Chain A
Amino acid sequence: MAVTIDLSRDAPIAPPPYPPTGAEEGRAARGYWAGVGRRVVRDPVALAAALVIIVIVFAAILAPWLGLADPYRGSMLRRLRPIADAVYRLGSDELGRDMLSRLVYGGRLSLLMGVLPVVFAFSAGSAIGIVAGFVGGWVNTAIMRTVDVFYAFPSVLLAIALSGALGAGIFNAIVSLTIVFTPPIARVAESVTTQIRTRDYVEAARVSGAGPLAIIRVHVLGNVLGPIFVYATSLISVSLILASGLSFLGLGSKPPEPEWGLMLNTLRTAIYVQPLVAALPGAMIFITSIAFNLLSDGLRSAMEVR
Chain B
Amino acid sequence: MSADEIVDVEGLTVDFLGGAKPLRAVAGVDLTLRSGETLALLGESGSGKSVTLRALMRLLPERRAIIGGRLRVDGQDVRALSNRDLSAYRGRTIAMIFQEPGLALDPVYRLGDQIAEAVMRHDGVSRRAGRARALELFERVRIPSAAQRLDNYAHEMSGGMRQRAMIALALACRPKVLLADEPTTALDATVQIQVLLLLRELQRELGLAVIFVTHDVGVAIEIADQIAVMYAGRIVETGGCRDVIRAPAHPYTAGLLASRTGRASSMGARLPVIPGAPPDMENLPPGCAFAPRCKRAQSLCERGDPPDVSVGPAHRARCFLTSALLAALPASGP
Contacts and interface: CB of A to CB of B under 8 A. Distances in A.
Contacts of A19: 275-276, 292-293
Given A2-B298, A5-B275, A20 B270 contact: no
A9 B279 contact: no
A293 to B, nearest CB: 25
B284 A22 contact: yes
Contact of A23 (B279, B298, B334): B279
B297 interface: yes
B82 interface: no
Nearest to A6: B275
Binding site of A, secondary structure by majority: helix, strand, loop or mixed? loop
Interface string B226-249: 000000000000000000000000
A7 to B, nearest CB: 6
Interface residues on A, range: 10 to 19
Contacts of B122: none
Contacts of A24: 277
B302 interface: yes
B2 interface: no
A9 B270 contact: yes
A19 B293 CA distance: 7
B295 interface: yes
A1 interface: yes
A23 to B, nearest CB: 3
Interface in A15-54: 17, 19-24
Interface string B281-305: 0111100000111110111011000
Interface residues of B, number: 23
Contacts of A5: 275-276, 293-295, 297
A3 interface: yes
B277 A21 contact: yes
A242 B334 CA distance: 74
Interface in A241-282: none
B321 to A, nearest CB: 13
A19 B270 CA distance: 19
Nearest to B285: A22
Nearest to A20: B292
Interface of A: 1-5, 7, 9, 17, 19-24
27 contacts: A1-B299, A1-B302, A2-B299, A3-B291, A3-B292, A3-B302, A4-B297, A5-B293, A5-B297, A7-B272, A7-B275, A7-B295, A9-B270, A17-B275, A19-B275, A19-B276, A19-B292, A21-B276, A21-B279, A22-B279, A22-B284, A22-B285, A22-B292, A23-B277, A23-B279, A23-B280, A23-B282
Given A3-B302, A23-B277, A23-B282, 15 more contacts: A2-B298, A3-B294, A3-B297, A5-B295, A5-B297, A7-B295, A7-B334, A9-B270, A17-B275, A19-B275, A19-B293, A20-B292, A22-B280, A22-B284, A22-B292
Would you list the 3 A-B pairs with minimal beta carbon distance, nearest first? Answer: A23-B280, A19-B276, A21-B276
